[in-house]
Amino acid sequence: MTASVAASKNARAAMLATLRKGLADAPFVVPAPPARPASVPIGTDAWERLAAVLEPLGERLRMAGNRAEACEHVADIARERQARTYTRWDTALDGLGLDEALSSLVRVAPGPCKDLGQVDLGLALAHGALVESGSMVLVAAPGRHRAASLLPPASVILVPKSALLPDVSHMPALLARYGEDGRTPSCLNLVTGPSSTADIELVLVRGVHGPGTLDVIALDWDD
């Protein structure tokens, strides 16, 4: 056993012993808190409510009633952002026909971050969309790379209707549901707006390390 592993073991024992003694000397019970205020349920106006929350974050919500409309929106965004290259989640987004819509762009497959450093546009599919805060829930897995919603300066997130959820109190269930083989996924991201900072004189700037623009496409059909 190396010196540092031994030190870690000793530290562990000492820390836990001190904590246990402290609680034994002065135990406390925390009273149960009030019930969580009821979530606002997902109703027929969910997309409107989501759009309203996204707007001040600088995000535009585009409605798509079918695959063709979704692809049109994607093509529009690629043009608006002057994108020449893109990366996307694979199997999750395979059935939409996105590659045709983006045929004039070069597609870069999921890979090491170094290879994705110059990509213009990234597309991902939301596992959840939390209406209260406008937060997109993205769970990583093979073919669902984290970089897709992080490295390119322009980000697009497609939201299936079934992904609509009231608020963050629904996030734990998603984490539990989307693990492979019952294991917790390696990474769950909540994405709420483009990357931003106000560290210089409290002036808001978007697109500091993560994407500067985030467009959301509502896949408004039942599947």
Comparing CB distances to other proteins, the nearer of 101 and 145 is 145
Place of tokens 């409290």: 202
Comparing CB distances to other proteins, the nearer of 63 and 175 is 175
Q: How many CB atoms lie within 10 A of CB 48?
A: 13
Distance of CA 90 to the CA centre of its chain: 16
Q: Are 74 and 98 in contact (CB under 8 A)?
A: yes
Contacts of 70 (CB under 8 A, 6+ apart): 64, 96, 158, 217, 219
Comparing CB distances to other proteins, the nearer of 97 and 179 is 179
Comparing CB distances to other proteins, the nearer of 40 and 68 is 40
Q: How many CB atoms lie within 10 A of CB 82?
A: 9
**Minimal distance in Å, beta carbon 1 to other proteins?**
13
CA quadruple 218, 97, 137, 160: dihedral, nearest 10: 40
**Minimal distance in Å, beta carbon 143 to other proteins?**
7
Contacts of 127 (CB under 8 A, 6+ apart): 137, 138, 139, 163, 174, 178
**Minimal distance in Å, beta carbon 69 to other proteins?**
28
Find, among 131, 133, 137, the residue nearest to 188 by Cα. 137
**Minimal distance in Å, beta carbon 11 to other proteins?**
4
**Minimal distance in Å, beta carbon 62 to other proteins?**
21
**Minimal distance in Å, beta carbon 156 to other proteins?**
16
Comparing CB distances to other proteins, the nearer of 106 and 113 is 113
Comparing CB distances to other proteins, the nearer of 62 and 144 is 144
Query: Cα–Cα distance between 190 and 163 in angstroms, integer?
Result: 13
Q: Are 214 and 58 in contact (CB under 8 A)?
A: yes
